[in-house]
Amino acid sequence: VLGVGVLIEDITERRRAEEERAHLYREAQEAVRVRDDFLSIASHELKTPLTPLSLRLATLERRLERGENLDPGVLRHARHQLTRLTGLINDLLDASRIEAGRLALHPEATRFDLLVEHTLAGMEGQKGNHTFDFEPPQEPISVHGDTFRLEQVISNLLENALKYSPDGGTIRVRLSLTDDVAVLSVADPGIGIPEDQQQQLFDRYFRARNASTRSYGGLGLGLYISRDIVERHGGRIWVESVPGRGSTFYVALPTLASVRPALPQVWPDR
């Protein structure tokens, strides 16, 4: 009886080990699949601007050869493709810096309200027929933050709001102050996000069904990078969305007054 007992225990133990191995194997396979999908999406995204870019360069070359004037419109389009390409490459670099714990922050006292205004002004050229509806807050709002990186977060939210909402839509941008916390919200009347996928939006490479199945380009890195930046400022980023109706993204940051005493002079890299 004792012998049988030991045997059964042994079998149970062996089965548990096998299940564990199978589980690890499935997880590894899933990681490889995610990476392979990402590589094919990334190569496609990186290639897309190249064709129009080389067409435009060829046009300019021809005009030069014929001694004609250069067309500023063609130059502008070529620059636009280059900007797009640079943005994609920067996102790839930032994501790998985050993975390696090497995305450096250089915080200083910053007027967050002016930063939002400045970022909005910088996007005038990109907004097409969309309208930005921004009401500056009643009082100045200062945070202790990395201006360059915070601007990256704000423009990522604005670019997404433009990208995922119909042409001509109004994007509502609000900034408020509650109990030493600055809250920025960006609301769009766009495609929204399926309920069961709202939690995963900030994961690396993640793209929601309704974005990836339609032809919206993207790498699924912007929100991942934004979350890292916001959380390392002691803040929080989240979304509320109704599929088919629109989305509101929120960024909450501690104000300068609330964080100053606790902060070291220079934030170490993570």
Question: Least CB distance from residue 76 to ligand ADP, whole Å?
Answer: 23
Q: Report the residue number, 20 or 99, with the smaller CB distance to ligand ADP.
A: 99
Question: Least CB distance from residue 134 to ligand ADP, whole Å?
Answer: 16
Q: What single string gives the DSSP state of each residue in 135-201?
A: E--SS--EEEE-HHHHHHHHHHHHHHHHHTS-TT-EEEEEEEEETTEEEEEEEE-S----GGGGGGG
Q: What value, to the nearest 5°, has the Cα angle with vertex 100 and ends 253 and 208?
A: 65
Question: Least CB distance from residue 190 to ligand ADP, whole Å?
Answer: 5
Q: Report the residue number, 111 or 163, with the smaller CB distance to ligand ADP.
A: 163
Q: Point out which residues bind ligand ADP (CB under 6 A).
A: 156, 160-161, 164, 188, 190-193, 201, 206-208, 211, 218-224, 247
The CA distance from 103 to 193, in Å, is 28
The CA distance from 183 to 267, in Å, is 23
- Of 131, 121, 119, the residue nearest 157 (C-alpha): 119
The CA distance from 235 to 228, in Å, is 10
How many Cα neighbours within 13 Å face the side chain of 36? 6
Question: Least CB distance from residue 146 to ligand ADP, whole Å?
Answer: 19
Question: Least CB distance from residue 223 to ligand ADP, whole Å?
Answer: 3
Q: Report the residue number, 161 or 256, with the smaller CB distance to ligand ADP.
A: 161
Q: Report the residue number, 49 or 254, with the smaller CB distance to ligand ADP.
A: 49
Q: Report the residue number, 182 or 193, with the smaller CB distance to ligand ADP.
A: 193
